[in-house]
Structure 1
């Protein structure tokens, strides 16, 4: 029951994070800057500049929006291309991970045996982890660009200094949720797929076998048995020798009696 609850919780959290990241791709105001202020006693003249992954825009105090869409892919700023590629890679991996996790969950009854479902769920968790790291890398690359411009002491005072927008915070939260969901998946299947190795001694060949995988049985070695096993073997040998001596004495007595008769 706990395993199912952890898997369902991981699926809900990771899927919610994936939706957060996908929504940020279409959101505006990735970076925001404003200029202006009071233009008299009762008149406020402010202009806002904002950008996202697809366009740069300008809004004046009359709420007129003017935007300039980015050109074709090979003419866009390189760091914008990098952010796009990282986020799209993360979204693709997250989509595949969500499908694998849904198939491998215990409550869906879609996969085969329990061992097969655990392997599929483990693969989905790995896809989520790689996708979440890719998403975080994309957001951090964009934030680094904003921070380098904002805190550059050599920047022209007339140049714009942008602030971090809401989609970046939402995307970082979504990436964190994806990683948390993957951790919930791993908690439910890691001990099953990778159990702790145990040494089993056999009396015949004095060899050990680790029950983790069958291939390990090809590399069995010969070791000195423990003291308890030595005592058990010694006791069994003494018992067998005593029984053989008793049988020999009884046979001699029976043979002497038969010779007397």
Structure 2
């Protein structure tokens, strides 16, 4: 039971890491056509670059020149997403080492269980970093969109945000399953220590009894 749960957790955590990497290279926001009669170009942006597409389908992309010139939520989202990928990588390595069916790390199952639990914590931290980064970025998009006094271009949520939400959900689910597998292992150990059957030596000592005749017993006078 615990081995299959750990395998499922590893697969879900791996999908969370892959989708987090995909979300970095997807569009996090795109220009809105709401209220515009004539649309000459569309603008797509993520944490690293901005792309513009004209009406003929030709588009051009350029990377952001200065990190310090960007807004604060973009800088924070960058840092959180990089931390998310690093934590997800640590979670994958720790889970591979701590799995019961894995031969990596020897046969010390107590140490392997703690390593698997550490991998689950890494996955949960990855999911939290991704969730905070994506939700914070989406909050700023919606705040600018519904602000009637905002003078700049209004954007809508891009596909990278939805991929990021899926990545955060998968990472949190994988980490929770790993911690649950470690709790199952702990319960099984407690049950095994609680029940101890009779040993061979105690069985013989309790079954064999010796009696010494009393000197004034009835058989002594026969």
Return the TM-score normalized by structure 2: 0.78
2:129 equivalent to 1:130: no
CA displacement 1:148-177 (0-9 Å, x = unmatched) = 101113324xx3221000111011101100
Aligned 1:75-224 pairs, distance under 5 A: 75-112=69-106, 113-156=108-151, 159-193=152-186
Displaced runs of 4 or more, over 3 A: 34-38, 191-198
Q: Is there any run of 5+ residues in structure 1 with no aligned partner, and where?
A: 39-44, 199-210, 212-249, 255-261
2:32–2:156 contact (8 Å) kept in structure 1:
no
CA RMSD of aligned residues (A): 2.5
* CA positional deviation for 1:128: 0.9
The question of whether the paired residues in 1 share the 8 Å contact of 2:2 and 2:184 is answered with no
Q: How far 1:26 moved relative to its partner?
A: 1.7
What residue in structure 1 maps to residue 210 of structure 2?
none
How far, CA to CA, are the matches of 2:188 and 2:133 in structure 1? 36
- How many equivalent pairs are there? 194
Q: Gaps spanning 5+ residues in structure 2: where?
A: 194-213, 218-222
Greater Rg over alpha carbons, structure: 1
C-alpha displacement at 1:90, in angstroms? 1.0
Hey, what does 1:6 align to over in structure 2?
5
Please give the alpha-carbon distance, in whole angstroms, between the structure 2 residues aligned to 1:109 and 1:4: 13
Residues in 1 aligned to 2:61 and 2:181: alpha-carbon distance in whole angstroms? 49
Higher RCO (CA < 8 A, seq sep 6+): 2
**Partner deviation per Cα, 1:199-255 (whole Å, 9 max, x = no partner):** xxxxxxxxxxxx9xxxxxxxxxxxxxxxxxxxxxxxxxxxxxxxxxxxxxx99x99x
8 Å CA contact retained: 2:117, 2:182: yes
Q: Is the 8 A contact 1:118 1:193 kept in 2?
A: no
